[in-house]
């Protein structure tokens, strides 16, 4: 079994009967969600930060994973957490937010917090074309000029860990999964809190109102952030993010 990158391990923090499943983003690691988990646990909640299939090890492990492996990772984490709590909230960043929304239609979730979440990728190529291209260009290096450019807390960025490459095959899997999400949005009927930074360079802020409009849930909220990049769980506005999530979970959970 591939070794997990040090400091990016999954985590479990025991608290009360309300569980929070924390789901990281594309090419990311559980470390993205650890500060949020620590905060929510200090508020009394039981928190589980999972590692999505193929993540936090080597890029080639991600290439072997399909989007259904990522949903299986969420389902496994949900079942573990549901075994020790009375209710479970799905809380995700970026692709993790998309997975949280999608899986809320398949699991008995109490609610969803989705942050920096895409509804679709900006390219117009169908998933099968991207898969075909991946045989010729397996990986696309992250542009050096872009890495860290939208971070406001540079110290937090310095300790941030993600793959330095974007596996092209995995991008096709993400695109396919987002297609399922768009179909699922009108079927979502659990309370939802959406958060997105207006300074996000990686997932256009316009995704949040588009998701909001399509959500079937009656209890739904949007929170706009400023002074933060894409990784809102670690960047400068993180305390605002944590407080909003905690208040939402407490309100809905009671």
Helix (H, G, I), strand (E, B) or coil at 114: strand
Report the distance separating Cα 41 and Cα 47, nearest Å: 6
Where do the domains of the chain lie? 11-253
> 135, exposed or middle or buried, with CB in 10 Å at 0-12, 13-18, 19+?
exposed
Q: What is the DSSP letter of 166?
A: E
Q: Are 73 and 153 in contact (CB under 8 A)?
A: no
Task: Report pLDDT digits (tens) over 59-109.
Answer: 889 999 999 999 999 999 999 999 999 999 999 999 999 999 999 999 999
What phi, psi does 134 have (nearest 5°)? -65, -20
DSSP of 64-101:
T--HHHHHHHHHHHHHHHHTTSSEEEEEEETHHHHHHH
pLDDT in tens, 161-182: 999 888 888 988 999 999 999 9
Domain 11-253 is in which class?
alpha beta
Q: Is the pTM of this model over 0.95?
A: no
DSSP single-letter state for residue 254? -
Query: What 3-state class would DSSP assign to 141?
Result: strand
Torsion of CA 162, 136, 54, 98, to 10 degrees: 70
Q: Mean pLDDT of successive 10-residue segments in the chain (254 residues)?
A: 91 98 98 99 99 94 94 98 98 99 98 98 60 58 66 94 87 93 98 98 96 98 98 98 99 90
Interacting residues of 30 by C-beta distance below 8 A, sequence separation 6+: 8, 9, 10, 11, 22, 24, 49, 50, 51, 56
């Amino acid at each position: 079994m591939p070794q997990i990158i040090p400091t990016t391990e999954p985590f479990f923090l025991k608290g009360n009967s309300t569980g929070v499943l924390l789901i990281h983003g594309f090419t990311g690691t559980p470390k993205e969600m650890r500060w949020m988990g620590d905060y929510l646990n200090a508020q009394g909640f039981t928190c589980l930060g999972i590692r999505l299939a193929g993540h936090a090890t080597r890029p080639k492990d991600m290439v072997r994973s399909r989007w259904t492996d990522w949903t299986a990772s969420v389902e496994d984490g949900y079942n573990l957490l549901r075994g020790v709590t009375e209710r479970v909230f799905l809380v995700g960043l970026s692709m993790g937010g998309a997975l949280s929304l999608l899986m809320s239609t398949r699991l008995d979730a109490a609610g969803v917090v989705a942050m920096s979440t895409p509804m679709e990728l900006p390219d117009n190529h169908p998933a099968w074309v991207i898969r075909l291209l991946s045989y010729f260009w397996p990986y696309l290096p992250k542009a050096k000029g872009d890495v860290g450019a939208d971070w406001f807390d540079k110290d937090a960025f310095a300790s941030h860990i993600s793959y330095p490459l974007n596996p092209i095959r995995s991008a096709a899997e993400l695109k396919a999964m987002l297609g399922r999400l768009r179909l699922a949005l009108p079927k979502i009927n659990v309370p939802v809190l959406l958060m997105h930074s207006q300074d996000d360079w990686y997932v256009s802020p316009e995704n949040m109102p588009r998701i909001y409009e399509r959500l079937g849930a009656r209890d739904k909220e949007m929170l706009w952030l400023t002074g933060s990049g894409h990784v809102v769980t670690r960047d400068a506005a993180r305390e605002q993010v944590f407080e909003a999530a905690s208040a939402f979970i407490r309100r809905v959970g009671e």
